[in-house]
Structure 1
Amino acid sequence: MSARPPLSRLLPRRRAVVRALFTLTVTAFTGGSLAHVAGTPRDRAARESTGGFDETYRGRRIQGRPAPPDGRRFDVRVDGRPLHLMRCADGGYLTLVDHYQSYPTPLAAARAAVDELGSAQLAPGAHHGSVRP
């Protein structure tokens, strides 16, 4: 029968194992969190650009879906009225309501238009400058 090593020899090994497990756990959770944060905007932009959206934002209903036939343009509506979007060279979107700032997704552009409109409505045939008070 072998004799057990003294407790003083086991403690440094146990501490090293616990320290290594703690370091591994912290590294895994930090890496996972950073990967989630880094991937979220692109995933959301890809989902919006392919699938569309339908939400209520500040009491207004915003709907958007890819317009046929190629699906590269978006049909966006605010309270059922069309909101014309223009595609920028940087890949972003402009609206007729605020055509000085580019937004990364059609949803972000529609939200910015709702913010800018306030209580005003889009005119039924939304052409350049056709916002009614």
Structure 2
Amino acid sequence: MRATRRALLRALFLTALAGGTAAALTPVLTADRNARRPRAPRAPGAPGALRGEVLFDETYRGRRLRGSRTGSPAAHGTGTRTGPDTVRVTVDGRPLHLMRRADGGYLTVVDHYVSYPTPLAAARAAVDELGAAHLSASPTHRA
């Protein structure tokens, strides 16, 4: 009787472990699948073309926010993904580094703790956080 109880508890534990792992990995796996879907090729300059497509260009709290798709090829050997889903955002002409999350949201270099649903929302939040300060003109960090 004892061996049967132990086998039952082990089976329940392994089932719960497998179910929890599947539930935790589902958003990551489905986001990756959606990111790799092929897109129909479009002519450069056509409406909705990826390269250089302006996503937003507005003034928010006295700052000019501009976002566009880069559509540049992947950087070889750098480990940096710069495919068609890459968005370039500037605040007053200075680049704001955005990081894409697996769930489709964005993090900014200004605030790593909050995820924003769109690049525009992330840029507005960065302006709110910066206040009167400006982004660094240099892309490299000097300690």
Cα offset, 1:71, TM superposition: 2.5
- The one-character-per-residue Cα deviations of 1:24-47 (angstroms, maximum 9, x if unpaired) are xxxxxxxxxxxxxxxxxxxxxxx9
- Does 2:80 correspond to 1:67? no
Unmatched 5+ stretches in structure 2? 1-47, 73-82
Distance in 1 between the 2:102 and 2:124 partners?
A: 21
Comparing both structures, which one devotes a greater share of its residues to helix? 1
- 1:126 is displaced (CA, Å) by 3.8
Cα deviations across residues 36-79 of structure 1 (Å, max 9, x unaligned)?
xxxxxxxxxxx9x9751000000000000011224201000000
2:94 alignment partner, one of 81, 85, 96: 81
Name the Cα RMSD after superposition: 2.4
Partner AA of 2:103 in structure 1:
D
Looking at structure 1, the residues matched to 115 and 125 of structure 2 have their Cα atoms a distance apart, in angstroms, of 10
Structure 1 pair 119–129 and aligned structure 2 pair: CA distance change class (3 A): farther
CA contact (8 A) 1:96 1:129 kept: no
Q: TM-score, normalised to structure 2's length?
A: 0.53
| TM-score relative to the length of structure 1 | 0.56
Aligned match for 1:53, one of 45, 50, 56: 56
The answer to whether the aligner puts 1:109 opposite 2:122 as a matched pair is yes
Q: AA paired with 1:56?
A: T
Where do 4+ consecutive residues of structure 1 move more than 6 Å? none
Which of the two has higher C-alpha Rg? Answer: 1
